[in-house]
Structure 1
Amino acid sequence: MPRDPQRGAGLRRDFALLEALASPEAAAEGGLGVLRLAELTGREKSQVSRAMRALAEEGVVERHPGTLRYQLGWRLFALVSRAAQTRLERQAEPVMHRLAAEVEETTHLCVLRENGVLTVFSVSPGHSFRLAGSEGHSTHSACTSVGRVLLTELSPDELHIRFGTDEPLCAEHPIRPHSIAELWVELNRVREQGYAVVDEEYEPGLVGVSAPIRDFRGRAVAALNIAAPKSRLGDRLHDAGRRTRRAAGEISLLLGHRPQR
């Protein structure tokens, strides 16, 4: 099919508008108005106005009803999120296969969703054990090694906002932690060693380890997890934790993360 130069030019102009809305100025100002977008892109105000209305109709941008400034929209973020998760799974799978073979246990790729942990992908070394219904299943983040890894970037105030203070944490899992203060102590331990360990804290007879997967910004976007019966993994938990930390670091490098020296 022959290339349509007019359509290509229109796409480039629309991308220029989206790049302007992704700029530090737009973030600081809570969006940009049509006049400022026209100045930044060198286009006529009427052209920018028409383009932004069309993008808003598709959910690619949103216009604040009070300030009339435009921001990047929900549909764009949804597309980026889906693409990022697909890339994460693609990069993680071969590393997860190697880790599963090394430890001889099922490995899980997990993310944080509100107050819960969601398993999105699993790789088994071949034996029969798996967390029952693990993929697509959400569990309380404070009670799991995955959750603790992904909560390490939060401050005590942010933990209080996320979990509240009225009810004990993990009420259905009585071992620990019972409070935000106890969770904070545990999170500091996780930060120091680079992986988290749970020993029958989520479920009797079950142990697990997790390590963070970081993106190019250094943010923990997912966690690599191993969970197994204590009778099989209990005496080598920290060895499994170190191996999981190393594997998670490999995936992080593939996502563009560069650790500070």
Structure 2
Amino acid sequence: MSEETELNEDSNDKEMGTPELINKSVIKATVILNKLGQYPQGITVTELAHDVHMSRPTTFRLLYSLEQTGFVERYDNKYMLGWKIARLGRLADPHSGIVNLIQPMVQEFANHLNELISYAVVNGEGDFDLILEVSGSRWYALQSGIKQDLPLHASVTGKVILAELSDDKVESLLPEKLPALASRTIKDRGEFIRHLQQVRVQEFAIIDDELEDGLFGVGIAVRDHTGKLIGVLAAAGPKQRILSQSIVHIVSQLQNLAKEIVEKIEQA
């Protein structure tokens, strides 16, 4: 198909309209940008056209337009993402899309369990953003980038994240004496590291009168298709009410929900 034919088809689509009001040129440009993200060292227009299944003239036209606006850069006949993409990335909320994707299924699970359900995105070693909390018929999207007051040593989210690290790394992240927040908070770093070894074996974490008295929580790791830890899914509520149920059953339900979350995110 020639560039002229494709342009005519785009023009006809605009004149006639589509039910979704989709502009094909915009869609094609986003496809190209997504593909360029896979080639940080750059790719030629011919190679890119082959990868995105577009004609070379159309690919070149879109690349040239994107280059004029700073979204694409060219070096030695190779194209790569431009500086403006990086700038937009810094301005964007990295988690708002995830909240919109997973909120309905998390809400449904919270209604079923009738407890507080939370989801945290893991950013790195000992670093996370709590982006969603759901309880009963209400849900809260927490502002991205603001660290929530969940201590690493006394929350299921923190325990799951730290269990991913080596004992030496955990030792470097935590003080020798850990702050006491409730009657059963683990205060000795060595004892806490031994506790993490149990978390690794059983593949879930619990808190029991550790963050606050009377609060019991269960948390699991959420992993992508490569096995990388991308989030933590947790359920928490009054100790007596949570323990009236089977912890193993709650963990199983959380694991099923985690699989649904990963599928939803990766298909988006």
TM over 0.5: yes
Partner of 1:121: 133
- The CA deviation string for residues 31-59 of structure 1, in whole angstroms up to 9 with x for no partner, is 134xx242422347686254144253xxx
Indicate the SS of the match to 2:235.
strand
The match for 1:15 among 26, 30, 55 is 30
Taking a change above 3 Å as real, the CA distance of residues 177 and 70 of structure 1, as seen in their structure-2 partners, is farther
Partner of 1:73: 86
Is this contact kept in 2: 1:145–1:209, CA < 8 A?
yes
Taking a change above 3 Å as real, the CA distance of residues 173 and 246 of structure 1, as seen in their structure-2 partners, is same
Alignment of 1:1-261 (within 5 A): 3-4=13-14, 8-23=23-38, 26=39, 31-33=40-42, 36-42=43-49, 43=56, 48-54=63-69, 56=71, 70=81, 73=86, 75=88, 78=92, 81-100=95-114, 106-112=115-121, 115=127, 118=130, 120-124=132-136, 137-156=148-167, 159=170, 163=173, 167-168=175-176, 170-173=178-181, 175-179=185-189, 181-218=190-227, 219-228=229-238, 230=239, 232-233=240-241, 236=243, 239-256=245-262
Indicate the SS of the match to 2:236.
strand
What fraction of aligned residue pairs are identical, expressed as a percent? 15
Indicate the SS of the match to 1:138.
coil
Deviation at 1:254, TM superposition (A): 1.9
- Flag structure 1 segments of 5+ consecutive residues without an equivalent: 101-105, 127-132
Taking a change above 3 Å as real, the CA distance of residues 252 and 204 of structure 1, as seen in their structure-2 partners, is closer
Is this contact kept in 1: 2:177–2:188, CA < 8 A?
yes
* Aligned-partner Cα distance in 1 for 2:97–2:251: 25
TM-score with structure 2 setting the length? 0.62
Supply the AA of the counterpart residue of 1:107: L
Deviation at 1:11, TM superposition (A): 2.3
- The CA deviation string for residues 153-180 of structure 1, in whole angstroms up to 9 with x for no partner, is 334465467x3x5x3464243832533x
Larger radius of gyration: 2
- Flag structure 2 segments of 5+ consecutive residues without an equivalent: 1-11, 16-21, 50-55, 264-268
Indicate the SS of the match to 1:154.
coil
